[in-house]
C-alpha cells in the first residue's frame, strides 16, 4: 500500500547511489525498534540463496526482513497523520506530543495486518 521498499531499492540499484546514501536516514520512529533504511540497504546487497537472485532486486521473490511505511502526509490526510502520532505517543523534549518529519517511518511490526489497511489503518505499539 504505502510501502516504499521497492521504489527505494530501485533508486539504490539503478541510479548508482551508495547504499548508505539511498534511504539509510529513514527510521522506524517507535522507540526501541532499530528497523531502518540502512538495515534494508545492507539486506538488499545480499544474495537470496533460496531463489538464486539478488535480495533487493524487484525480480527476486525473497521478502525483505521488514518494511517501512511513511506517515500519511499533512496535505493529504492530516487527521490520519495525527492519529499515527497519537498512537505512537512519543513525547518531545518539551513534553508535547512528538510529530513526524519527512524521514519518519513506522515498520510493519506495528500494524495489526503487517501494513496499514482499511480495517486497521493506524499503528499500535
Ligand X SMILES: *[C@@H]1O[C@H](CO)[C@@H](O)[C@H](O)[C@H]1NC(C)=O
Binding site for ligand X (CB under 6 A): 46-48, 55, 62-63, 65, 87, 92, 94, 96, 121-122, 124
Q: Which is nearer to ligand X, 23 or 84 (CB)?
A: 84
Spatial separation of the C-alpha atoms in residues 28 and 65, rounded to whole Å:
14
φ/ψ (deg, to 5) at 54: -85, 120
Least distance to ligand X, CB of residue 62, Å = 4
Q: Which is nearer to ligand X, 16 or 95 (CB)?
A: 95
What's the chain look like in SS3? CCCCHHHHHHHHHHCCCCHHHHHCCCEECCCCCCCEHHHHHHHHCCEECCCCEECCCCCCCCCCCCCEEECCCCCCCHHHHHHHHHHHCCECCCCCECCCCCCEEEEHHHCCCCCCCCCCCCCCC
Least distance to ligand X, CB of residue 13, Å = 15
Least distance to ligand X, CB of residue 42, Å = 9
Q: Which is nearer to ligand X, 21 or 50 (CB)?
A: 50
Least distance to ligand X, CB of residue 75, Å = 18
Q: Which is nearer to ligand X, 7 or 47 (CB)?
A: 47
Amino acid at each position: 500500500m504505502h510501502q516504499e521498499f521497492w521504489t527505494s531499492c530501485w533508486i539504490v540499484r539503478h541510479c548508482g547511489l551508495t547504499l548508505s546514501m539511498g534511504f539509510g536516514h529513514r527510521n522506524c520512529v517507535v522507540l526501541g525498534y532499530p528497523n531502518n533504511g540502512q538495515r534494508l540497504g545492507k539486506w538488499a546487497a545480499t544474495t537470496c540463496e533460496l531463489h538464486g537472485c539478488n535480495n533487493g532486486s524487484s525480480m527476486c521473490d525473497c521478502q525483505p526482513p521488514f518494511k517501512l511505511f511513511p506517515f500519511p502526509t499533512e496535505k493529504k490526510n492530516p487527521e490520519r497523520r495525527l492519529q499515527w502520532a497519537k498512537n505512537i505517543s512519543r513525547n518531545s523534549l518539551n513534553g508535547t506530543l512528538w510529530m513526524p518529519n519527512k524521514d519518519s517511518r513506522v515498520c510493519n511490526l506495528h500494524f495489526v495486518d503487517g501494513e496499514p489497511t482499511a480495517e486497521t489503518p493506524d499503528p499500535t505499539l
